[in-house]
Amino acid sequence: MNRQIPPKKNGGSRFPARKSRPCLFLLGAGVLLLGLIFTHAHVRRHSDISSIHRLATVVEKLELTDLALFTEARYTRHPSQADLYSAFQDHPTSLEHFPMGSIAAPSAALRRLHGKVD
């Protein structure tokens, strides 16, 4: 009963402000930040679009058909040019984009053989 609680800033009351105040503030901040995502995306898209156009120009000039994102195998390097059934044929242990590739592993013998060649 004789415990002294130092005065807080809000109106000199020694009681803490209601909890909903920071919460509502955070909610507002959250909504604002979510909005900011879209604004930021818009602004950066705007500034990036010219370099994307330049990329398209390079693609046109070199007559490219694909992105150089996955260079591991030929059907991943040029997925749009790959023939329709190139499972396992580029690297026996490469990850498959066919669903069965994640179920069935290539035979150990094949893997050993390739290990020597690499």
With CB under 8 A as the contact rule, the residue among 41, 105, 110, 113 that binds another protein is 41
Looking at beta carbons only, is 95 or 107 nearer to another protein?
95
Give min distance, CB of 107 to another protein, in A: 18
Please state the φ and ψ torsions of residue 3, each to the nearest 5 degrees. -75, 125
With CB under 8 A as the contact rule, the residue among 87, 88, 92, 97 that binds another protein is 97
Looking at beta carbons only, is 27 or 113 nearer to another protein?
27
110 touching another protein, by CB under 8 A = no
- Site pattern 47..86 for another protein (x: CB under 8 A): -xx-xxxxxxxxxxxxxxxxxxxxxxxx-xxxxxx-x-xx
Looking at beta carbons only, is 10 or 107 nearer to another protein?
10
Neighbouring C-beta atoms of residue 73, cutoff 10 Å: 19
